[in-house]
Amino acid sequence: MAEQDIPDQDGCDEDDDAARFVYQIRHQTIYQYSLPVRLSHQVLHLTPRELPWQRCLSHNVNILPAPQVVRSYEDNFGNVIKAFSLDTDHTSLDVHADSWVELTSRGQPQAGMAWDEAAMLMSYHGGQSMPPGMLDASNFLFESSHVRIKREFIRYAAECFGPGMSVVDGVRALMLRIHEEFAFDPAATTVSTPVTEVFANRRGVCQDFAHLMLSCLRSIGLAARYVSGYLLTEPPPGQPRLIGADASHAWVSVYCPGPAGSEGVWIDADPTNGIFPDTSHITLGWGRDFLDISPLRGVLIGGGQQSMQVAVTVMPGEEARGLQLAI
């Protein structure tokens, strides 16, 4: 991003005393192909969502080779998608997304409805109408490509969700249990590792832990979705931030219906770190599981063997501005 493209925050309302956190996110994906690719269709989920606590200040995507047209539209979950095609031979593909976002604190979730009451409200009742928010949440009650509904997940979750316990307290207990009992191990799984295998081996990465927590929540009747985004990580004391050393992150969001049929709330939970997300979690989008919201996916003709490199950097705004002005 050129210096003049750095978002200017001088227009913020000074009367608003809520703390604002501005971040720059750079996400670069490079594919190398052993043979020329003749035709490539690609879909990107790299645009940060607009949310009550999150504002996308700017978003640019640079693609090499450059496609003639990049289309933008929303998917069924309201995520912004960018899609493009390449119909000339190429042996590499470089997609570089540069985003600036502003976050304000959403606070810690408050205890509300009991989880078993929420599950009962979300269950199907013939002829019963649902409020729009609850109807939308019902899309996240069922199995999907990476999420299973099984008895072992019911038993695992049951130790965290006692009778009459609030949704928030149950989610906290399950999140902390996964955080404590599962080891973060990038070598233990791939993007296609079944969640049942993750559960048996007690090892994986953020994507695996999100799928596991979703399996537990949906198995006991709660609606929960997969959230894709980024997490600000801090370098060790006295050491500079490593450019490109971060990665995409994943967590879950659980629906808690409101009383007497009123609109409910979504509660985000990060089982990898054992925390409720706040001003260090940047949301790209959500879906039923990873396949609905993978950052880049597509189909191609040709290419032979391929390799992929991903570099992600999440940087506080002032640090990013200082670095760019020093160049």
Spatial distance between the Cα atoms of 253 and 34, rounded to a whole number of angstroms:
40
**What was the pLDDT predicted at 68?**
92
List where CATH 3.10.620.30 sits in the chain.
115-291
**What was the pLDDT predicted at 12?**
46
Helix, strand, coil share (%) of the chain residues, nearest 5: 25, 40, 40
202: tokens are 């007690």
List where CATH 2.60.40.2250 sits in the chain.
3-12+21-105+293-326
pTM of the model: 0.90
Spatial distance between the Cα atoms of 322 and 76, rounded to a whole number of angstroms:
39
**What was the pLDDT predicted at 5?**
55
Spatial distance between the Cα atoms of 285 and 267, rounded to a whole number of angstroms:
15
Domain 3-12+21-105+293-326 CATH (choose: 2.60.40.2250, 3.20.20.70, 3.40.50.720, 3.30.43.10):
2.60.40.2250
Spatial distance between the Cα atoms of 10 and 30, rounded to a whole number of angstroms:
35
CB atoms within 10 A of CB 193: 18
- Residues 210 and 226: beta-carbon distance below 8 Å: yes
- Residues 211 and 195: beta-carbon distance below 8 Å: yes
Domain 115-291 CATH (choose: 3.40.50.2300, 3.40.50.300, 1.10.10.10, 3.10.620.30):
3.10.620.30
Task: List, for the chain, all residue ranges whose pLDDT scores fall below the cut of 70.
Answer: 1-18, 125-127, 241-245, 260-261, 320-327
Task: Name residue 77's amino acid.
Answer: F
51: tokens are 């949310």
Q: 17-26: per-residue pLDDT in tens?
A: 468 999 999 9
